[in-house]
Amino acid sequence: MATTEFDWSQLGDIQAGRPNLGGDTKVAVYRLMQYTLRSVLEKEFGEERMRLLLIQAGLKAGSEFCRNLLDTSLPLGAFMAQVQARLLELSIGVLKVEKVDTECMNFVVTVSEDLDCSGLPVGGNTVCDYDEGFIQGIFETYTGQAYEVKEVDCWSTGERTCRFNIHQLP
Amino acid sequence: MSSPEETALLNSLREILRGLCQGVIPNLEGLPQVQDPALGDLAAEVFRLGRLYAESHAFVLQLAKGNLEVEGPVRNHFAAPFKQLQAELRHLTWQIQEIAKGDVGQRVAFSGDFSRAINAMIEALGEKKQIDEQNQANAQLFRTIFETSADGLMITNLQGWVLYPSRSGMEMFLLDESDFLDGINLFDHIHPGDQERARQSLAKLMEGGETGFSEYRVLRKDGSQFWNESHAAVLTDVHGEPDRLFIVFRDITQRKADEERLKTYSEELERLNAKLSEMATMDALTGVFNRRSFDVRLQQEMQRAIRFGGRFCLVMFDIDHFKNFNDQYGHAVGDLVLVSVCGAVGLHIRQVDGLYRYGGEEFMVILTETSLDQGLQVAENLRRLVEELRLMHHEDALPPITASFGVCCSSDLEHLGADGLVNAVDSAMYEAKAAGRNCVRMAPSSHT
C-alpha cells in the first residue's frame, strides 16, 4: 500500500476555503477528533501502540511546525521565546521554560492551558502523548539531535500544568 | 457499642481533622486496624488526606523559602496549584537569566500587574540596550576619527587642560603619553604673542559667539614653532552647561610659506605686467606716450567729440634741424634734446591733455575740449618754451633749439576722419617749416 508523506501544503488554503468561518475553531472540536481517534486506536492496537502512534504523529507535526513557522537560526533563548510566542498566538498553550541545561541540552518545560488536556477529568494517567511528540519534533528539528520527551505532570493526573522533561539522546 | 480501639481511632481522626483545620501537620504514624470496615475505610481516607496535606505543606514551605528546585509531590491536588506557581517562578527565573544575557525579546504573560511591571522593565532594558549599542557605535566612531584624522583633534576642559588628544594632534605637538602625567595645557603651547588673542577667542566662544578658523603660532614640546589653523566648539554636560572644548587644528606652516611665496610672485608679476603695459604704451626714450597710444587716444577723442558735440585740438611739432644737431653732437645729445623737450612740454600741458612721440623728432599733443584759438595759443606757448630751453652737455652749453608747430581743431574739420586730421595738422606743421621754422601754423578750416 502506497504511503502518503505529509506535506505542509496538505493544510490547504484555509482563507480561500473558509472565507466566512475563517481559520479558527473550538477547542472542543479539536479534542473531539483527538479523543475519538485515540479511542479507536486504543481499541484497534492497544494502549501502548496507541500512545506510540500519537507520539509519532506529534513528532511529525512538531517537525513541520518548526520548519514552516519558526526561525531555527535564532540562538536558544530567542528561539524558546519564539516558540512560546507562536504557541500563544495559535492558542495551543502557555509554554514556559523551567530549566535549561545548555551543556547537555536538556530542558524542563511546562504547558498550561494546554489544548490537549487542560480541564479534562482527572483519570490518573498522563494523556499528552501527541504533545510529547510535538515538542520532540521541535527540538530535534532545531538542534538536529535526537530527543526523548516525557510528560511527568498532566492535568489528567491532577496537576494544574503539564510538565515535560526533554532529554537529548546520546 | 464501640470497642476501645474504635473509640481511640475516632478520637485520633477527630484530632487529625481539627489539626488540619488549624494548619497543624498531623501525626500519621500507623493506621490502627478496627473491626468496623466502614470506620476503617474512613480512617484510611482521613489518613490519606492528612498525608496529601502534609506533602503539600512541606512542598509549599520549601517554595516559601525560595527553593524552586524542590520536587513537587505527584498526584496531589493540594500541591497542584503550588506546582503551577513553581512552574511560573522557574520560568521567570529562566527568563530573567536570559534577559541578563541580553535577550530583551522575552515577555512575561498571564501574571497580571507583575507581567506588566516585568515587561515594562524589559522594554526599558531594551531601550537602554539600544542606547548602549548606539553609544558604543558612537564611541567607536569617535575613536576611529581621533585615531585616523590627519587634522589634530583635542578635547580640553575650559581651562585648556587636554583631556583627550588625537594621535595626529600629539604628533604635531611632539607629545607622548608620558607628557600627560603632569597634564598638558594648550595655552602653554600657544606663542606668547598669540595667547591674548586665543583667550579673547575663547571668551567669545563662551558667550555663544562664532569664532571661525583662527591662525596661531604654536610651540612644540621641543620649542620649535609651527603655524596652526584651528577651530573650536564648546561641548556641554548633560545639563547643557559648557564644560569642555573640542578643538580641531592643522599645521599650516607650509601653506603660510606657500602663501608668502605666492604673494612675492604676484607682486613681481604685477610689476612685470605694469612694465609690459608701459612698454606697450610709452616711448622708452622720452617716457611720453608712443605712436600706438596716440592712435587709440585720437579715436577716443573723436568718438567723444561726436557723441557729446565736443571738440579738441591737435598740435604737431617737429624739432628744427634735429638731423644736423644729431650729426654735430652725436645721438646721445640728440636723445638729451628729445628728452628735455618732452620733459618741458609735458610739464606745461594739462593733465587731461596728452603728449605723444609720433616718430623721430615729431610729437603730437592732444588738447581736449579746446578751441582753435586756444590751441593756437597753447602751441605758441610751447614754441616759446622750447625756444627758451637752455641745455647743457658735460658742462657745455648747447645751442638753442626751436620747433615748428602745426595746429588743427576737430570742430573746424568735422568731415575729416582721424587720418584726415593728422594729415591736416601735418600740412600745417610743414607750412610752419616752410615759413622759416620756429613758428606756429594752423590748418585751414573746412568752413571757410
State the complex-level ipTM. Answer: 0.73
Specify the pLDDT at position B75. 86
Which of A88, A96, A158 is opposite residue B87, by nearest beta carbon? A96
**Residue with cell string 532594558:** B125
Q: Which residues of B are catalytic?
A: 361
Specify the pLDDT at position B375. 95
Which of B74, B75, B90 is opposite residue A99, by nearest beta carbon? B90
Rounded CA separation B20/B276 (Å) = 125
Rounded CA separation B391/B398 (Å) = 5
Chosen for mutation from B69, B83, B101 (greatest number of chain A CBs closer than 10 Å) is B83
Exposed e or buried b per residue across A37-71, where buried means at least 16 C-beta atoms within 10 angstroms of its C-beta = ebeebbeeeeeeebbebbbebbbebbbbbbeeebe
Chain A positions in Cβ-Cβ contact with residue B84 (cut-off 8 Å): 110, 112, 159-161
**Contact between A157 and B75 using a beta-carbon 8 Å cutoff:** yes
- Say if residue B129 is exposed, middle or buried (CB neighbours under 10 Å; 0-12, 13-18, 19+): middle
- Cα atoms in the Cβ-side hemisphere of radius 13 Å centred on B27: 7
What is B151-256's CATH superfamily?
PAS domain (3.30.450.20)
> What residue type is assigned to position B191 of the chain?
H
Domain boundaries, chain B: 4-82, 105-148, 151-256, 282-442
Strands B242-251, B152-157: parallel, antiparallel or unpaired by DSSP? antiparallel
Q: Which CATH class is domain A13-168?
A: alpha beta
| Number of cross-chain residue pairs from A and B with Cβ atoms under 8 Å apart | 64
Strands A147-153, A162-168: parallel, antiparallel or unpaired by DSSP? antiparallel
**Residue with cell string 552647561:** B241
Chain B positions in Cβ-Cβ contact with residue A81 (cut-off 8 Å): 98, 103, 105-107
Interface of A with B in 123-152 (CB under 8 A): 124, 152
Number of Cβ within a 10 Å radius of residue A164:
24
Residue A146 pLDDT greater than 50, yes or no: yes
| Length, in residues, of chain B | 448
For residue A54, what are the CA distances in angstroms to A37, A149, B239? 9, 13, 66
Residue B2 pLDDT greater than 80, yes or no: no
**A119 interfaces chain B, CB cutoff of 8 Å:** no
Residue pair B126/B104 in contact by the 8 Å Cβ criterion? yes
Residue B165 pLDDT greater than 80, yes or no: yes
Q: Which CATH number fits domain B282-442: 1.10.1050.10, 3.40.50.40, 3.30.70.270, 3.40.1010.10?
A: 3.30.70.270
**Contact between B103 and A153 using a beta-carbon 8 Å cutoff:** no
Q: Residue B136, Cα to own-chain centre: how many angstroms?
A: 28
**Contact between A94 and B109 using a beta-carbon 8 Å cutoff:** yes
Specify the pLDDT at position B390. 92
Give the model confidence (pLDDT) of A81-131 as tens digits: 899 999 999 999 999 999 999 899 999 999 999 999 999 998 888 999 999
For residue B429, what are the CA distances in angstroms to B362, B414, B422? 10, 20, 10
Nearest to B156, CA basis, from B56, B233, B267:
B233
Residue A2 pLDDT greater than 50, yes or no: no
